[in-house]
Amino acid sequence: MVPHLITALTGPINELEQRVIDSMPATERWFRLEWMEHTPPFYTSVDIRNAGFKLAPVDTNLFPGGWNNLTPEMLPLAVQAAMAAIEKICPEARNLLIIPENHTRNSFYLSNLAQLQRIFNMAGLNVRIGSVSPDVKKSTVIELPHGESLTLEPVVRTRGRLGLKHFDPCTILLNNDLSAGAPGILEDLHQQYLLPPLHAGWTVRRKSTHFRSYEEVAKRFGKVLGIDPWLINPLFGKCSDVDYSTQQGLDAVQVQVDAVLGKVRRKYKEYGIKEKPFVVVKADNGTYGMGVMTVRDPKDLEALNRKTRNKLAVVKDGQLVHDVIVQEGVLTQERLNGAVAEPVVYMMDRYVVGGFYRMHPDRGVDENLNAPGAAFVPLAFDQSTHMPQLGARPGASAPNRFYMYGVVARLAMLAASYELEATNPDAEIYD
């Protein structure tokens, strides 16, 4: 059932794994205390890269799709975590409304919605799916593979509350990352919980803000573990006012690329790493694997042709790129059936509930795998992240490896929690 997994089983990552396993009680206590002060995002997925010598999150998604890739074995954990989440937010809840992405033709995405509906239904809620897309004008039943079906309904706003015809939800779950901006219909809701909040959408979110929070989290957690935070933190720089089409600001990007490459080179030297450093230039407001470019040499930026530049200039839902983040590239040294793979960890409330490998047969170890052609292989994260094997030889135990992934994913989730606090437009109310 679990496919053959080839990972680099030597090098500093094993020392890191050993530290993480040895520090488990301290780590769990540290998270418990953090969650007393900070609210976890409602649900989160984190893409992780294991370079064999370092391990780092490269993307933190606050509107995770892909729940359909979780195995049936992982569902009970997701249901239990959903129960805990709902209980905290609205114990009286009867009804939950899920607001999906507007592009709803993709059957994988629709299966993701069906899975979310199942999870929250099993947690004891009546769950319906209401679209904010102007194209959805009436209730539509969509048949899915494996005999499932999904009913997509148009949302209705009545007296300040959002719902469906004859369906008034207590909680509204966004599975729409709001790349195109928050529609007015979602604003100023009357006594309804909208989760995640509007400012978690990509009109407000910036990768650079997230990774600045993550850097802080990594430094603090590094002290708990007694490690160099670089082992879990990707270095980065930010450039504003970039226009790929006119090439405006690309010289500043070049300077940043050079600076980040220099820092990485020094770290590689310090650790005796023979790999060639690279960076990944990403849209600061980007998601969905769009607007992403691997750069090995600052000169590469001079050689971009018009087609490539046009492609980089626009991200999801046609949003233009103005700012970019230049992030240390983290190799992925994991392979499944010969294809390059990276783990994606899923969390509900503060709990790791599952995960899978994203693999791409046509991409290299230094490339973005979130691209058409990617495949997903669920792995038994359910057991693994909770069940580290104390005393196992470093690098030899899959559960220990996955526990470590769960820790790093939770660090990224905590960074997202800091980030959402810092960007909360209503924050002054609580001061």
Question: How many whole angstroms separate alpha carbon 330 and alpha carbon 348?
Answer: 26
- Cα(423)–Cα(180) distance, integer angstroms: 18
| Binding residue (CB under 8 A) for a copy of itself from 49, 382, 406, 418 | 382
Residue 224 as a binder of a copy of itself (CB under 8 A): the answer is no
Burial 283-293 (b: 16+ CB within 10 A, else e): bbbbbbbbbbb
Ramachandran region of residue 303, left (φ > 0), alpha (ψ -120 to 50) or beta?
alpha
Exactly one of 83, 162, 172, 330 binds a copy of itself (CB under 8 A); that residue is 83
Per-residue interface string for the shown chain with a copy of itself, residues 47-76, x marking contact by CB under 8 A: -------------------------xx-xx
Which one, 35 or 271, has the nearer CB to a copy of itself?
35
CB 315 within 8 A of CB 291: yes
18 counts as binding a copy of itself under rule CB under 8 A: no
CB of 161 to a copy of itself, least distance (A): 19
* Binding residue (CB under 8 A) for a copy of itself from 1, 4, 91, 429: 91
Whole-number minimum distance, CB 126 to a copy of itself, in Å? 5
Kindly list the distances between the CA atom of residue 107 and the CA atoms of 103, 119, 145, 148, 379, in Å, as whole numbers in the listed order.
11, 18, 8, 11, 22
Q: Which residues contact 234 (CB under 8 A, 6 or more apart)?
A: 56, 57, 58, 211, 327, 328, 329, 330
Check if the beta carbon of residue 51 is closer than 8 Å to that of residue 360: no
- Select from 390, 426, 429, 431 the one that contacts a copy of itself (CB under 8 A): 390
Nearer to a copy of itself, 169 or 291 (CB): 169
Does 121 contact a copy of itself by CB under 8 A? yes
| Cβ-based nearer residue to a copy of itself, 72 or 372 | 72
Nearer to a copy of itself, 86 or 253 (CB): 86
Q: Which residue has the tokens 């708990």?
A: 224
Query: Is the separation of the CB atoms in 267 and 275 below 8 Å?
Result: no
In the complex with a copy of itself, the residue whose CB is nearer, 42 or 278, is 42
C-alpha 391/C-alpha 77 separation (Å) is 26
Residue with smaller CB distance to a copy of itself, 7 or 80: 80
Q: Does position 84 bind a copy of itself by CB under 8 A?
A: yes
Beta-bridged to residue 58, according to DSSP, are: none
Establish if 357 lies at the interface with a copy of itself (CB under 8 A): no
Instruction: In angstroms, give the least distance from the CB of 148 to a copy of itself.
Output: 11
**Kind and range of the H or E run holding 152:** strand 149-154
Contacting positions for a copy of itself (CB under 8 A): 24-29, 31-33, 35-36, 72-73, 75-77, 79-81, 83-84, 86-87, 91-94, 121-126, 351, 382-383, 385-388, 390
